Structure 1
Amino acid sequence: MYIKKILAAIAVIGAILGFMFVYYVYNAVFSPNTAFENDQAYVYVKTNATFADVKEQLTPLLKDVNSFAKVSERKAYTSNIKAGKFAIKKGMNNNEIINSLRSKNLPISLSFNNQETLEKLAGRIATQIEADSVSLIKSFKDASFIKNSKFNDATALAMYIPNSYEFFWNTSAEGFRDRMQKEYNRFWNETRLNKAKAIGLTPQQVVTLASIVHKETAMVTERPRVAGVYMNRLKKNMLLQADPTVIFAIKKKEGNFDKVIKRVLYKDLELDSPYNTYKYAGLPPGPIAMPDISAIDAVLNYEKHDYYYFVADVKNFGYHKFAKTLSQHNANKQEYVRWLNSQAIKR
């Protein structure tokens, strides 16, 4: 009888312990384990990250990081870390969190526009994906890539078509660059290629001219007319005489693309640079900035007219006055110069 009581007691204790173990496991695996109030939080896991790195990021987000670690070990996540951007939703349990970290890498919307140099583009992209600006600029300027892609150092910026694109956060520098090459080839479809051929320009020359048009006017509706002015000049072998190219030449010479220049002076027009379209005929060696798609399409669909000159319209800011003759242009220009002087804009 005594032995039976002992066995019964052991059975009860075993059942209790078993229940406690099951309860503990259930809680560890299936009970909510988030400690934030927002609907969700994001975790960015770097390439080659360790479980310790992931755990460090999750510590402020979880109620019990130790239970997460134990469940991670049992599910073999600790030795199978995935890089990327992952969402942890409020109320998730450890099992759901681990499943999300394992297989639900979220895409991001990446965008860029108006960068004047590859360096500035690299800096912009580095704020949006894992790759840093150093690795990005190295990939952008890779000599073999540039050559094989049929660009050169001056035209390399033309390959990057400003837009919004879907990427994974853990995209490498080379992965971003290679995707942009594909997007460039996709952008230059048969329709655009035929339009470029019809106006006697290569795609890279179109982008170069578009970069000037983009800098000349922010008004999308005016860009085809501005493009028409420069096309008229190219056809007549006239100097383009585009102020933005002079500004670019100054910045390039000084190595300072953060410099703000509001007024081009007569002495600037003497700067000896292939980008100075007051001294050198034709298009500059490459784009002076990254034109947006509207500027590129403005060149491809430029307005047919007889204008050869234009200057800022001081009575309708943002727009320009166009002229067919030099005498009319000079009259318009005098009005603009008077306005500059009245505003004390000297540089």
Structure 2
Amino acid sequence: MEITAVESFPIKLPLESPVSFSNRTLTFRDHAITYVRTDEGHEGVGYSLGYEGAPLVAEAVESLLRPMLLGEDPRDTERLWHEMYDGTVQIGRTGLLLRAISTVDIALWDVKGKAAGEPLHRLLGGHSTSVPSYASGGYYRDEKGHEALRGEMRRYLDEGHDVVKMKVGRLSAAEEAERVAAVRDEIGDDRTLLLDANGVWESSTEALRNCRAFAPYDPYFIEEPVMIDRVETMATVNDAIDYPVATGELEGTRHNFARLVDSGAATILQPDVTVCGGITEWLKIANYAAAYDVQIAPHYNWNIHASLLGAIENGLWVEYFYRDMDVKAFDDVVADPVRPDDDGVIDLPDRPGHGVPLDTDALATYEWT
């Protein structure tokens, strides 16, 4: 089997109204979409969230990676990953180019699964056929007060979730503690509350002041209290509070994740397969973490992360966003998106490949030109 075509292009999905987290406001979501096609008629697709850089990710695939891939066997995922990574290491290693590699690697595994006639979770290990999810939200909008925040969380409980996540860090520590207290009051003491600061605090002093203000409301973890590169600061926070730090959504490669664990900066890892180097690298990260009994709770992209979590022994939860909350819009281009059942559990797709078929008409509608 040979790769005969590699195509990548950006899409731009508008949000109905601006949405904010601790340090940024968004009006749209963009993704780079990559297709890999073979001489035997198999087609695989991969993707990555662009954070306004999707055109650059797609250009990197077509200009830098495609020449390395044409004529190669798509099933040689390990070899091709190293050729892409090593071939761009002088200008890559993380960030934009690693996202480009991620889109290709995901597409290659999609081809591999289709050629083998196996769904991804079974091809990779078949640990389980369903995985738990949590409802992610609690974003900021101008008109959104405590009652609206409570209503959002009630909706998640009504959907069957016992685990919810909210954003923190945009307001003062006292104001944020009031928001967290409101959510804890709404969901009750027996449900699990997760917090996400998106790296907003610039020092351990500032992070600890906030995290300690949240402690009375029993959060299960605080995500990204400081930016990912401040590993020692993250470790100081993780050591000083009574609940764990989770991080990794912006991190790339197993080596950086090993540093997070080895330094004590993270108790829970959140690798994103569309960011860290694709499925090939995501599995190395998850298996390294398993050796230390570190749990994996991947960031975003529930359609593919559900299958990956179903392949490993140390999976915790899949992050899930409800489309009508107008925060994440990628399901608009997924032909058959996964969805939690009444207990917040996602059944894994049983179709060959990674099981995330995209709607070609929708892709055409939202292509960023």
Q: Would the TM-score normalized by the shorter structure come out above 0.5?
A: no
Q: Tell me the TM-score normalised to structure 2 length.
A: 0.19
Q: Which has the higher helix share?
A: 1
Higher RCO, Cα 8 Å, sep 6+? 2
TM-score if structure 1 supplies the norm length?
Answer: 0.20
